Structure 1
Amino acid sequence: MKKASLALLFLLISSAAQPQTGAPNHTRFLTLEEAMAEVPYHPMDDEENIRLSKEIYKDYDAIRADLGDDFGGLWLEFNPYGKVYPVIAVANGKAIDRKWLKHGAVVVQVARSVKQLTAMQDVIMDAMGSSDPHDELAIYSSYVDEKSNRVAIRAPLRHREKIMANIQSLGVDASVILFEEQAHPITFYGIERAD
């Protein structure tokens, strides 16, 4: 009798779990383990790395001031075990004070300082910065990419050759430019409407 009751209970539970004809299909929810397996892990998800990165970037302005015109940048990288460490870039062979060599910091020599890159960026944007989508030589935005030690510009890809030729005519070495495609200028209105 006990076995029959258990079998009947099992059949009732099994049939109740089956979708009925015309009944809406329910979304299957993932378990926490399944969801975590679906989302790729990034080292910055680690609480210790978040804490270290905040601590490292607290020193950014002080390191920049200490290195002055020879500051080439500061960014984070990860060791093979996923632990964050700072990379401090220095131009012109300047020595760095030992007090900045914490958290496994690595010092790299770069060809150009942030000050030099910013000066190049200013020359380019003063001559070619525009939000006019009809201007073939318009560069919509730019930034100094410390990690690549280059000036990144954003403009329509179809005008790349003309833009690069014009940049060279300004006396800026084209190898310093990191070209990124941006089809049209970004406007506040476009951001608000999510166009």
Structure 2
Amino acid sequence: MRKSVLFSTAALFASAAIAQQSVIDDAFTTRAGALKAAGLENAESPENKAIVESATSNYEILRENLGDSFGGFWVEYDENGNAYQVLAATTPVTVAKGYSENNRLEVVSVKYSFSELIKIRQQIQSSYEEQYRNGKSDFELISLYEGIKSNVVVVKALPEYKEAILLWLQKNAIPLDAVDFQEQDGQSTLMATIYGGQAIYSAASGIASTAIRCTSGFNVTIDTVITGAVTAGHCETVYPDVARNKAYLNVSPTPGSSTVGGGYIGDFLANQFGNGIDAVLYGNWGNVHTMLPKLKTSVNTYGSVKPVIPVDYSRIGQSVCHYGNATNWRCGTLSAVNSTEYFNGRPFNVARATFCGGQGDSGGPVVHGVSRNAMGIYMGVTVAGATNTCGASLGGSASKESIFQPLKPYLDIYTNVKIMTE
């Protein structure tokens, strides 16, 4: 049975009234506070930064040296918040004593190499997508990615599909000990609610009832002369029957829970949502707004944007943060850098992180937790129909995992679009 995608923005209509007062702890009004709340306050210590930077710079070297034995490489934090590196291998390896001590390296033995996990994931993905396109699938996958830390390919779906999926995997000669089936109660919910982190809303021209709240991601230049910004593609296309083709400022004092119409910013363009990339631009009409290479660092202050880095340049386990108008700053760690999420059978290649989010956060900036380099734009939470996963006072849930769209695939398509940086 085919299920429709449930976007949590469905009930978010424009209104000058405050629908509800969001209760946000002061700890989350700054990125530093969010890091502390996530238990990552030591992430920016010189010692931890050195270990994370070493992991980034040595990843390809270790992968090349170990060859087919390479099982993965990531960053962990011990009970005292001190970072250390973990190298997984399928055969015994010897690492230079100096490197091991300086980087607090731990070597673990695993059954499957990283390349084997990639092949298994690709086999599952190609077989599933082919049968789905042909209308022959009796189940739906929600997510699919390499679980590097657990040395498996993670397959997520509704619990009632478990038996059918495991049987299908066996028929396709997929080793079941290389797969971790995890229950998820529905497709990830894409959250929709001039600086990066600006409160905005999208609407059809002149139709206030069509408005949905979002957060602006990063300011951009187009052909070096036109300015605009990038946000989540589903902020425009969440309701395909109504073309929400215009972006406006949301000047509500509580933009995470209500919409108050502000000035018109510009039209949406270059939306790749239909092609599996949840990103869109909106223009700065007539360049009437001043758009700077900055993003919110707290509720009323701003900091510089640092250059974009590919999400796969980062290591699993390292800190990452996002800013949204519903939940302010939230931080966690990368849990997957190449997760395939399915929405009505359409695959999106996204990243996963252990931070929460809420309605109105969609499209907001996602940055490296330590360096603040631009990485992606926030999409939503991995809980079907959720309105907020950041705590009981906000209708929270046990799940603290979210997905975000890496910037690089989108920017690779539109080479004349550049993120404003300092």
Range into which the TM-score falls when normalised by the shorter chain = 0.5 to 0.7
Give a deviation string over 1:92-147, Cα, whole Å, max 9, x none: x2423427524110101111111111111122112113777994333343111110
Once residues 44 and 155 of structure 1 are traced to their aligned partners in structure 2, the CA distance between those partners, rounded to angstroms, is 34
Report which of the two has the higher share of helix: 1
C-alpha offsets along residues 60-89 of structure 1, whole Å, 9 cap, x if unaligned?
A: 111111111110001112233221000100
Does the CA contact (< 8 Å) of 2:142 and 2:186 recur in 1?
no
Whole-Å separation in 2 of the counterparts to 1:191 and 1:90: 42
State the distance in 2 between where 1:74 and 1:156 align.
30
Alignment of structure 1 residues 23-34 onto 2, 5 Å: none
Pair 1:41–1:61, CA change in 2 (3 A): same
| Aligned-pair CA distance for 1:173 | 2.0
How far apart in 2 are the matches of 1:163 and 1:129? 14
> Aligned-residue CA RMSD in angstroms?
3.6
Task: For 2:161 and 2:235, locate their aligned partners in 1 and report how far apart those are by CA, in whole Å.
Answer: 24
Letter in 2 for 1:118: I
Match in the other structure for 1:148:
150
TM-score, scaled relative to structure 1: 0.67
Rounded Cα–Cα distance in structure 1 between residues aligned with 2:71 and 2:138: 32
Report the more deviating stretch, 69-78 or 152-161.
152-161
1:65 and 2:64 correspond:
yes
2:94 corresponds, among 82, 93, 96, to 96
The normalised TM-score by structure 2 is: 0.34
Q: Structure 1 residues 76 and 137 mapped into 2: Cα distance closer, same or farther (>3 Å)?
A: same
Would you say the 8 A contact 1:71–1:90 is kept in 2? yes
Question: Aligned partners of 1:153, 1:76: CA distance in 2, in Å?
Answer: 23
User: Residue 67 of structure 1 contacts residue 96 of structure 1 at CA under 8 Å; is this kept in 2?
Assistant: no
The number of equivalent residue pairs is 164
Q: Which residue of the partner structure matches residue 186 of structure 2? A: 183
Paired residues of 1:129 and 1:138 also in contact (CA < 8 A): no
Cα distance change, pair 185–84 in 1 and its aligned pair in 2 (3 A) = closer
Q: Given residue 54 of structure 1, which amino acid in structure 2 is its aligned partner?
A: E
2:83 matched residue in structure 1: 84
Which residue is equivalent to 2:43? 46
What does residue 125 of structure 2 align with?
A: 125
Give the partner amino acid of 1:177. Answer: V
8 Å CA contact 1:140–1:182 kept in 2: the answer is no
Greater relative contact order (Cα < 8 A, sep 6+): 2
Fraction of identical pairs, as percent: 21
Distance 1:47 1:184, change over 3 A: closer
Stretch of structure 1 that moved more, 112-121 or 40-49? 40-49
Larger radius of gyration: 1
Higher relative strand content: 2
Structure 2 residues not aligned, in runs of 5+: 1-22, 28-32, 191-231, 239-361, 363-379, 381-422
Does the C-alpha gap of structure 1 residues 100 and 66 become closer, same or farther in structure 2, counting only changes over 3 Å?
A: farther
Supply the distance in 1 between the matched residues of 2:43 and 2:121 (Cα, whole angstroms). 35
| Structure 1 residue aligned with 2:6 | none
Name the residue aligned to 1:136. 138
Q: For 1:105 and 1:82, how far apart are their aligned partners in 2?
A: 15
Report the secondary structure of 1:175's partner residue: helix
